[in-house]
Structure 1
Amino acid sequence: MEVTMKHLCLLGFFAVASVIGLESANGVGECGTAPVDRLALRMVPCAEASQDAQAEVSDGCCSEVRKLGSNPSCLCAVMLSNTAKSSGVKPEVAITIPKRCNLADRPVIPCLEEHSVEGK
């Protein structure tokens, strides 16, 4: 029950952040025309795994990392966004998610490498 409430709270926060647009951009950024904080909503399945290196990474999380990993600059921007920071994402833990997903072709995420303890 506690994990469910935690996820519901995170989902609520992401929804509010999306609506008010914490990082609204009118131009083209790391993620094209999609606002970074709106894309952070897609990373909700990674909430626990991005805060705890021992947490199991869900299939949903790995799927989203795989999708956003095709654009490493966007994945980096999402992981370091205000929304991610506010929800407790730890960059040094988030950088381990592609490896924990056993992705054969892991994305290189240069802006997170400085946070890496064990590498990609």
Structure 2
Amino acid sequence: MNYICFLVLLVILALINHNEVYGAGECGKSSPDREAWKLASCVIAAQDGNAPVSDRCCSHIKRLGQNFACLCAVMLSSTAKSAGVKPEIAVTIPKRCNIVDRPMSYKCGDYSVP
């Protein structure tokens, strides 16, 4: 009987932890790393401030830009980092995409969005 109670408690704790991790992050039910994969078309523009930003990249940025906390988390994610994204350049992409309703001077980690 004690064994069953322990298992039930373990399952409940796992469910609570699962909801905290996937239910209310910066990107809703998705993770910043998962969202970073969707921004593969932005990698070159996020590595080189002089590189053109593709229309596909801007489209994704506009969609994520509605939740700037998520976009910031994506730019600072381990997936973006492993792809060679430079956060100080990545934060310039919304401006380079001419997104007019981007938050000015938004702090994204150590970087400010222009």
Q: TM-score scaled to structure 1, two decimals? A: 0.70
Q: Residue type matched to 1:45 in 2? A: S
For residue 62 of structure 2, the aligned residue among 66, 74, 94 is: 66
Match of residue 98 from structure 1: 94
1:52 equivalent in alignment to 2:51: no
CA deviation digits over 1:57-85, x for unaligned, max 9?
Answer: 00011111100000011001111000011
Q: Give unmatched runs, 5+ long, in structure 1.
A: 1-24
Partner of 1:50, secondary structure, is: helix
How many angstroms does 1:107 deviate by? 3.7
Structure with the bigger percentage of helix? 2
Computing the radius of gyration from Cα coordinates, the structure with the larger value is 2
Q: Residue type matched to 2:41 in 1? A: P
RMSD of equivalent CA atoms: 1.6
Q: Residue type matched to 1:60 in 2? A: R
Q: TM-score scaled to structure 2, two decimals? A: 0.74
The change in CA–CA distance for 1:41 and 1:107 in structure 2 (over 3 A counts) is farther
Match of residue 108 from structure 2: 111
The 4+ residue runs of structure 1 with deviation greater than 6 A are none
Count the aligned residue pairs: 93
Give me the whole-angstrom Cα distance separating, in 2, the residues matched to 1:103 and 1:26: 28
Q: Residue type matched to 1:110 in 2? A: K
Partner of 2:24, secondary structure, is: coil
Residue identity over aligned pairs, in percent, reads 56
